[in-house]
């Protein structure tokens, strides 16, 4: 009796838990709401495998139910032993052939999709957008090849266009994953570069996450893909190419912040088209939807981050207490006015 209660308690617990957990999550990081080429391919594969599993489940359950009802022990026949059968060629062939067919139905589209997802053949075409993605503990760098655009954390792409990515890492293996629009791909240290293509069908901001355990702040290694219209993207490219890294801010405080930033932070960070440094590129920082990938973009959070990065993202490379709170305020003032373009996540039509 107690055992039964125990089982029901677990059932209740799991039932409640799955109900609660199904309320978690946000729309723009769901593989179940595909908004792009890669995620659509993967979603279709999920549907095929679920259909096959359901098919097998229903048939097995139907046979099972039929057999336990039809062949159960009947009253007055307790000692009756039915005819014993061993081997049945026809049946054995059937239950060997059916799984083979089902596996083929599953395998062919899976292998096809695997190759399609890694297909980068369009990267050589004229007008193709090629982006080098670099994973770092714990941030992402994006280098637009041939455009001299370097940026971190926010990856801008035009919608309805296949974008080609080559992936690498400066330290350990990370994995680039934007569930709503793409599959995931490892970024490897060394010369073993993976490739992947990306396409968003709708404008919007899609959340990305590192999907390979890469250190204490792995779960905080967030980034964003921002899909905008082709016109907005062209504008963004134009704006990003014309960034003047030395532009003087208007306010005195921000100018002081600029000097502090140049003296303390520039050895790792960069503004403008400079290649990836030890730290993220700060171009267009004022338009990032998050600070360090995870904090809301308020001045208070930014100051906190500048002074105590290790408390927010343990194990990251940025030194703590490099500047004091006063100096951090000024640096924050400077960074929050690095508004290099009108094309922002908010300007992209949200879905
Ligand atoms: Cu990078 Cu996990």
Summarised one tens digit per residue, pLDDT across range 283-339 is 999 989 899 889 998 999 999 999 999 999 999 889 888 889 899 999 999 999 998
Please give the share of the chain, as a percent, with pLDDT higher than 70. 96
**Residue 102 buriedness (CB in 10 A; 0-12 / 13-18 / 19+):** middle
Structure tokens at 182: 């793409």
- For residues 113-121, give the mean pLDDT: 84
Domain membership of residue 74 (yes or no) is no
Domain membership of residue 81 (yes or no) is no
Q: What is the number of domains present in the chain?
A: 1
Helix (H) or strand (E) holding 136: strand 129-136
Instruction: Please identify, by atom number, the ligand 1 atom nearest to the C-alpha of residue 173.
Output: 1
- For residues 178-190, give the mean pLDDT: 92
Helix axes 325-335, 252-264, angle to 10 degrees: 110
Name the closest-CA residue to atom 1, ligand 1: 174
Using an 8 Å Cβ cutoff, are 132 and 143 in contact?
yes
Domain membership of residue 129 (yes or no) is yes
What pLDDT sits at residue 351? 44
Residue 345: is its pLDDT beyond 90? no
Using the mean position of ligand 1's atoms as its centre, give its distance from the Cα of residue 342 in Å.
31
Using the mean position of ligand 1's atoms as its centre, give its distance from the Cα of residue 318 in Å.
16
Instruction: Please identify, by atom number, the ligand 1 atom nearest to the C-alpha of residue 211.
Output: 2
Instruction: Please identify, by atom number, the ligand 1 atom nearest to the C-alpha of residue 218.
Output: 2
What is the C-alpha separation between 345 and 289, in angstroms, rounded? 7
Instruction: Please identify, by atom number, the ligand 1 atom nearest to the C-alpha of residue 212.
Output: 2
Task: DSSP for 188-238, please give it.
Answer: -BSS--EEEEE-BSS-EEEEEEE-S--STTGGG-EEEEEEE-HHHHHHHHH
What is the C-alpha separation between 247 and 91, in angstroms, rounded? 79
What pLDDT sits at residue 110? 94
Using the mean position of ligand 1's atoms as its centre, give its distance from the Cα of residue 104 in Å.
34
| Residue ranges making up the domain that contains 144 | 119-351
What pLDDT sits at residue 29? 83
- For residues 8-21, give the mean pLDDT: 84
Domain membership of residue 59 (yes or no) is no
Using the mean position of ligand 1's atoms as its centre, give its distance from the Cα of residue 244 in Å.
32
Domain membership of residue 66 (yes or no) is no
- For residues 52-73, give the mean pLDDT: 93
What is the C-alpha separation between 210 and 225, in angstroms, rounded? 13
Domain membership of residue 185 (yes or no) is yes
What pLDDT sits at residue 111? 95
Residue 349: is its pLDDT beyond 70? no
What is the C-alpha separation between 223 and 208, in angstroms, rounded? 5
Confidence at 73, pLDDT banded by 50, 70, 90: confident
Using the mean position of ligand 1's atoms as its centre, give its distance from the Cα of residue 319 in Å.
20
Domain membership of residue 1 (yes or no) is no
Using the mean position of ligand 1's atoms as its centre, give its distance from the Cα of residue 175 in Å.
6
Domain membership of residue 217 (yes or no) is yes
Q: 3-state SS of 147-195?
A: CCEEEECEEEEECCCCEEEEEEECCCCEEEECCCCCCEEEECECCCCEE
Q: What is the mean pLDDT of the chain?
A: 89
Using an 8 Å Cβ cutoff, are 164 and 131 in contact?
yes
Ligand 1 pocket, residues with Cβ under 6 angstroms: 135, 138, 174, 210, 212-214, 218, 221
Instruction: Please identify, by atom number, the ligand 1 atom nearest to the C-alpha of residue 137.
Output: 1
Residue 159: is its pLDDT beyond 70? yes
Confidence at 78, pLDDT banded by 50, 70, 90: confident
Residue 207 sits in a domain whose CATH number is 2.60.40.420
């Amino acid at each position: 009796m107690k055992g039964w209660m125990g089982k029901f308690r677990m059932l209740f617990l799991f039932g409640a838990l799955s109900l609660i957990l199904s309320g978690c999550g946000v729309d723009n990081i769901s593989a179940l709401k595909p908004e792009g080429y890669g995620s659509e391919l993967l979603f279709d594969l999920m549907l095929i495998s679920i259909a096959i599993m359901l098919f097998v489940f229903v048939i097995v359950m139907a046979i099972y139910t039929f057999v336990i009802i039809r062949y159960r022990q009947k009253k007055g026949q307790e000692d009756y032993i039915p005819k014993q059968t061993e081997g049945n060629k026809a049946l054995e062939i059937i239950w060997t052939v059916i799984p083979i067919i089902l596996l083929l139905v599953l395998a062919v589209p899976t292998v096809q999709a695997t190759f399609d997802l890694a297909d980068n053949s369009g990267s050589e075409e004229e007008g193709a957008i090629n982006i080098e993605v670099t994973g770092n503990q714990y941030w992402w760098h994006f280098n637009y090849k041939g455009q001299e655009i370097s940026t971190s954390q926010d990856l801008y792409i035009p919608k309805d266009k296949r974008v080609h990515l080559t992936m690498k890492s400066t330290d350990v293996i990370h994995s680039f994953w934007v569930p709503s629009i793409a599959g995931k791909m490892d970024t490897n240290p060394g010369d073993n570069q993976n490739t992947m293509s990306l396409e968003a069908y709708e404008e919007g901001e899609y959340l990305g996450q590192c999907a390979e355990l890469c250190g204490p702040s792995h779960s905080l290694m967030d980034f964003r893909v921002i899909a905008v219209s082709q016109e907005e993207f062209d504008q963004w490219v134009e704006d990003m190419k014309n960034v003047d890294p030395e532009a003087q801010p208007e306010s005195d405080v921000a100018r002081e912040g600029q000097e502090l930033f140049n003296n303390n932070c520039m050895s790792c960070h960069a503004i403008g088209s400079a290649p990836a440094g030890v730290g993220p590129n700060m171009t267009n920082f004022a338009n990032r939807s998050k600070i360090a990938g995870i904090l809301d973009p308020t001045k208070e959070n930014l100051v906190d981050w500048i002074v105590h990065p290790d408390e927010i993202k343990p194990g990251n490379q940025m030194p703590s207490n490099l500047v004091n709170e006063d100096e951090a305020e000024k640096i924050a003032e400077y960074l929050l006015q690095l508004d290099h373009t009108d094309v922002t996540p908010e300007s992209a039509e949200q879905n």
